[in-house]
Structure 1
Amino acid sequence: MASPAADDYLKTVYAHTEWQDAPITPSVLAGKLGIAPSSVTEMVKKLAAAGLVSHVPYGAVRLTDAGTARALAIIRRHRLIETWLVREFDYGWHEVHDEAEVLEHTISDRLLEGIDARLGRPRFDPHGDAIPDAEGHVDRVPFVLLADAAEGHVGRVLRVDDRDPDLLCTLESAAIVVGAEVTATAHGVLVGGVSTELPEGASDIVWLSA
């Protein structure tokens, strides 16, 4: 069952549990995709019939092995394209998500391999998300969400969610970027010895090394 719509579903299910453990429900899936719940129900049935997800009525949606392999393949495309746009075309990290959403469905496997080779086989995209290799392997390191980090916790920024471009720009201006070392405080973070109070929602989109 190969289609951009199916790929988007599989990618969203995979990404939901990449940085936390709670499985995704059809209602949450509908919200993330911006689609009516009834439409999600129909697509999930089709994906289940194709052996890509497992689902029981009113229960969570989980990827099968085949669904995981397909999700990793499309995620590899998306994240390599984001990295390519930042490195080769000077896109900002807040600008690449929507471009990659379009290009991930159109470029050939040959071009994707060329991009990967030219970039030096990167392991992470500009937001810190792991780029699966051609065999679907991904790197994992222990992490903690900034909102859950204890006061005084010192960690390297591993990942920043890319769904809110304005918030990404705000964090970048405060030097809260992938690779930066920060210290969690009661009201924000310390970055390079400078205390920064975070805007609403920021601590929920930043992951630190544990």
Structure 2
Amino acid sequence: MIAHTKSADCCEIAQTEAVEDCLRTIFKLAGRNSVVTTSVLAEQLRVTPPTVSVMLKRLEASGLVTRSSNRHVRLTAHGERHATEVTRRHRLVETFLVEVLGLDWDEVHEEADVLEHALSDRLEARIDALLGHPTHDPHGDPIPSRTGEHSETWATPLADAAVGRRFRVDRVADDDSEVLRYLADRGIRPGAVLEVVRREPFGGPLWVRVGKQRHALGPLLTETVHGERI
């Protein structure tokens, strides 16, 4: 396990890979307004609920999370600071892998999961400077600033876009590599402008036009893509 000495002075718990993964996952879920519970975290982290329970007890004892009477998990201000730090490293690494090493956006999430823990402050700063201090990663996720200023809110999902209107893609959830590949093959990435053509009834697909091509997107895809109605 890698422990970051830069966090040792303010926490009773070492900032190991497991701790950082848990904090970043809570941060990500909270940013989506998801209810964070032991079972949800276990599914996201791909570990057992008892393993998550042990981790949450340690995080709570160290003042990084709180748990309410209904067992919902929330980051404290201290925990959010550490979660923001690791989120910044993760998204900078994803951006570096795409823009410098030429990986595609569906290949970088798991790589960044590994590399984010080994990034020193000095290397983080050099990568940030090399990239020109980017504000968003390849999926459109905002990169927290070095000062900790950050807003993790999500824009309107494509599922809520009105028929006959245009929709600019700002952000795409990066949980599923196959979904990212499918969307990329259809030209749906941050910055793309879609025309919402038709919504099939009874839970059917949403038809969108990208350039000259029309595509039918099911609910999973339209909840994954977020942006602004224009």
Q: TM-score, normalised on structure 1? A: 0.93
What is the total number of aligned residue pairs between the two structures?
209
- Provide the secondary structure at the position in 1 that maps to 2:135: coil
Q: Does the 8 Å contact 2:42/2:49 carry over to 1? A: yes
**1:152 corresponds to 2:161:** no
Mapped partners of 2:217, 2:107: distance in 1? 21
What stretches of structure 1 of length at least 5 have no aligned partner?
none
- Provide the secondary structure at the position in 1 that maps to 2:93: helix
Of residues 29, 33, 36, the one that matches 2:45 is 33
Mapped partners of 2:41, 2:153: distance in 1? 26
- Provide the secondary structure at the position in 1 that maps to 2:126: helix
Amino acid at match of 1:151: V
Overall identity of the aligned pairs, in %: 40
> Post-superposition, which runs of at least 4 consecutive aligned residues in structure 1 deviate over 6 A?
none
Spell out the pairing of 1:1-210 with structure 2 (5 A cutoff): 1=13, 2-18=15-31, 20-139=32-151, 143-184=155-196, 185-186=198-199, 187-199=206-218, 201-210=220-229
Amino acid at match of 2:130: R
Q: Does the 8 Å contact 2:154/2:226 carry over to 1? A: no
Distance 1:139 1:149, change over 3 A: same
Distance 1:142 1:80, change over 3 A: closer
Distance 1:158 1:111, change over 3 A: same
How far does the alpha carbon of each residue in 1:148-185 deviate from its partner, in whole angstroms, 9 at most, with x for none? 33333422111111121121111111110111111334
- Provide the secondary structure at the position in 2 that maps to 1:104: helix
Mapped partners of 2:137, 2:220: distance in 1? 22
What stretches of structure 2 of length at least 5 have no aligned partner?
1-12, 200-205
* Deviation (angstroms), 1:139: 5.0
**Greater radius of gyration (CA):** 2
Amino acid at match of 1:4: E
Q: Does the 8 Å contact 1:94/1:162 carry over to 2? A: yes
* Deviation (angstroms), 1:103: 0.6
How far does the alpha carbon of each residue in 1:80-102 deviate from its partner, in whole angstroms, 9 at most, with x for none? 00000101110000111111111
Mapped partners of 2:151, 2:42: distance in 1? 29
Mapped partners of 1:199, 1:206: distance in 2? 11
Larger deviation, residues 38-47 vs 70-79 = 38-47
